[in-house]
């Protein structure tokens, strides 16, 4: 059980750093492109914050919840950056 707790905390810290770095990169890039950087920041932070909470949820839920909460938490944390990367192709296709 202790090994699982350590693994979850390490995963949470890694995802937190990745989310913070993604927010900085997305905000700077959106400002450079002249887009609404604040909207993209919210698009990254809202699901990212929910995802980080889901990663920590197994500490307060039964052990079986780890196998559901942790993967969905990781997916939600990366949802904002994935949406932003997918929008690059649409913006480039629309301007061409």
Domain limits of the chain?
2-95
Instruction: Tell me how far CA of residue 67 lies from CA of 2, 51, 61, 74, in angstroms.
Output: 16, 14, 11, 12
pLDDT digits (tens, 9 = 90+) for 13-53: 988 998 999 999 999 998 998 888 899 999 899 999 998 88
Asked whether the whole model's pTM tops 0.95, one would answer: no
| Residue found under tokens 């809202």 | 46
So what's the pLDDT on residue 20? 92
């Amino acid at each position: 059980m202790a090994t699982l707790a350590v693994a979850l905390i390490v995963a949470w810290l890694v995802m937190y750093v990745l989310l913070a770095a993604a927010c900085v990169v997305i905000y700077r890039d959106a400002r450079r492109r002249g887009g609404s950087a604040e909207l993209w920041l919210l698009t990254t932070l809202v699901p990212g914050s929910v995802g980080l909470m889901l990663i920590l949820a197994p500490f307060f839920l039964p052990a079986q919840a780890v196998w559901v909460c942790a993967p969905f938490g990781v997916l939600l944390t990366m949802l904002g950056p994935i949406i932003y990367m997918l929008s690059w192709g649409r913006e480039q296709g629309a301007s061409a």
